[in-house]
Chains A and B, each alone.
Chain A
């Protein structure tokens, strides 16, 4: 938003939008004139004029702030003034641009996770992929998988998680400045973020952004959201993950040792700028860091084959070794950067390629296994949503517990081998 000191700027904007609505020959009314009462605009024209102003000024809540005020230019200027006082301009504020993002507090206001509504015993999945019954349970530790029902897909699961997250804190979808979506299974256009935007009925000038990274998608999304809020341009962002593997990694298209590991799920996190004491007890985002360990790039590759099938190269052994080594390294790095001892953690929201690897990771990290929420064992590897479902589980458990909350580490990996991690602290 431009500074209110530049009153000419606002006047020009208001005049321009008014003329577009009322017609170029319409005389600009006096500041206190009631535009509806005096018949200058009808109620539809008034709202249309305000929407144009919202879009031009960047003050997306202008209409809401004018409720119970006279429909006049004077009221509009007053709202601009009030908004400017509440949200000082960051233009030319060089001190703020050099501040690290962590100093602009961003917190998770609410979260929700959902999984596919069909619970399939792993033995059934073994059979479907032509593997001996019990293989997934014995080799990977998977007891069951969550599969999407016929009427569920990335969009419906994502919408469900997002709506629940919004409802929990009575946040209207119109408050969202951005929807950041990530999925390793959604293909095609409109992209998942665009579809979520439409389905949730977000404001037209709410951005929709798709973030990649496969299983690292959530951590990527949180970091992007943090940056957008820290820049001062956004205040409320929904980060949504959603993955439906059961339709992509089907028997006949991929081997059971690979495809059998995956389930379907979604998660949503509502991120907000923390303003003073207004918010309830919540977790604030710490720092995030990322990288790419290209030496493991060959361990997993998925591409479209010319015959329409999937060309999957999956070296399970190599990937397991790389995953454990790298995840442990990321946890160590978080500990070093944050100064938070892993022993003090509320929990770890990490990627869970399969339950056996979670056990191994807990052992390598010297932590009890209950610090890692049960995700892969009951639902399978949920791709970008694994971290999301795990993080939501930790947040929910913290909210339900009396006493002090501990910090949370999050760490994940994606094909490449991409890696990333960060931490959350009670705000």
Chain B
């Protein structure tokens, strides 16, 4: 059995993608449990920070998703670590401060639209943590996008935000029951209090990921944004 500290729960369409940290001697590395038939989970009842017992097949996935391991048994929750401690572990796993170091390859700009991508055969991994100097979220036609600057000063624009908790938070903020001007109220929140809450958080940290190859390209995504949103923030706007 393997112990996994769950760091990523991302949502794309109806399915969840999960990543956890595994300790191997003195190293901590990311592992993505997948089912035998799919890369994602239709149901994942656990939270970030949960320590889960699981059984994983030993072989890794194809480049750049070398973190993939087939899960052969269900997950059993063992304990939970608080958010600041979770970040401490994430800082000890895959981490980079410049654009080319993120996935061990050159990142390319989408020439006809937005976003950044890596060539699947060039990237050496599909998840990496990094420190940001600045970060903002915005709504673009019902989609949440992040723009951020790395500590190196390099700017990454228009990354899809796939962090489950942040996506749930945005959806909750836009729920019909929240009354009039929901979009404007959310935008105001994202433009001001969000910025303060996230960037002033002492354990602010992000992890970026690469999508599965889509038309032979792996697109960058914002997998995890710590701090995770709090339900009570919804009362503020």
Contact = CB atoms under 8 A, between A and B. Distances in A.
A47 B149 contact: no
Interface of A: 17, 20-21, 42-52, 63-64, 66-69, 71, 159, 163, 166-167, 170-174, 195, 198-201, 204
Given A21-B112, A51-B158, A201-B155, A172 B141 contact: no
A68 B115 contact: no
A172 B190 contact: yes
A47 B219 CA distance: 13
Given A21-B112, A51-B114, A68-B142, A44 B192 contact: no
A71 B136 CA distance: 23
Contacts of B145: 47
Given A20-B112, A51-B113, A166-B192, 5 more contacts: A47-B114, A47-B141, A66-B141, A68-B142, A173-B191
A199 B160 contact: no
Nearest to A195: B153
B192 A167 contact: yes
B9 to A, nearest CB: 18
B135 interface: yes
A368 B211 CA distance: 66
B140 A199 contact: no
B187 interface: yes
Contacts of A166: 191-192
Interface of B: 110, 112-115, 133-136, 138-143, 145, 147-149, 153, 155, 157-158, 160, 174, 183, 187-188, 190-192, 195-196, 211, 214, 219
Contact of B188 (A17, A68, A69, A170): A170
A195 B187 CA distance: 25
A344 to B, nearest CB: 35
A47 B196 CA distance: 26
B141 A198 contact: no
A419 B123 CA distance: 56
Contacts of A170: 188, 191-192
Contact of B136 (A43, A52, A171, A172): A172
B155 A198 contact: yes
Contacts of B136: 172-174, 201
A68 B182 CA distance: 10
Query: Which of A43, A71, A173 has the most B CB atoms < 10 Å from its CB?
Result: A43
B223 to A, nearest CB: 14
Contacts of B192: 166-167, 170
A43 B141 CA distance: 9
28 contacts: A46-B141, A46-B143, A47-B114, A47-B115, A47-B140, A50-B141, A51-B114, A51-B158, A64-B138, A64-B139, A64-B140, A64-B141, A64-B187, A66-B141, A67-B139, A67-B140, A166-B191, A167-B191, A167-B192, A167-B195, A167-B196, A170-B192, A172-B136, A195-B153, A198-B155, A199-B134, A200-B134, A201-B136
Contact of B149 (A51, A68, A163, A201): A201
A54 B166 CA distance: 26
A201 B187 contact: no
Given A48-B114, A167-B195, A172-B191, A67 B141 contact: yes
**Among the interface residues B145, B158, B160, which one has the most CB atoms of the partner chain A within 10 A?**
B158
Contacts of A67: 139-142, 183
Given A48-B112, A171-B191, A201 B141 contact: no
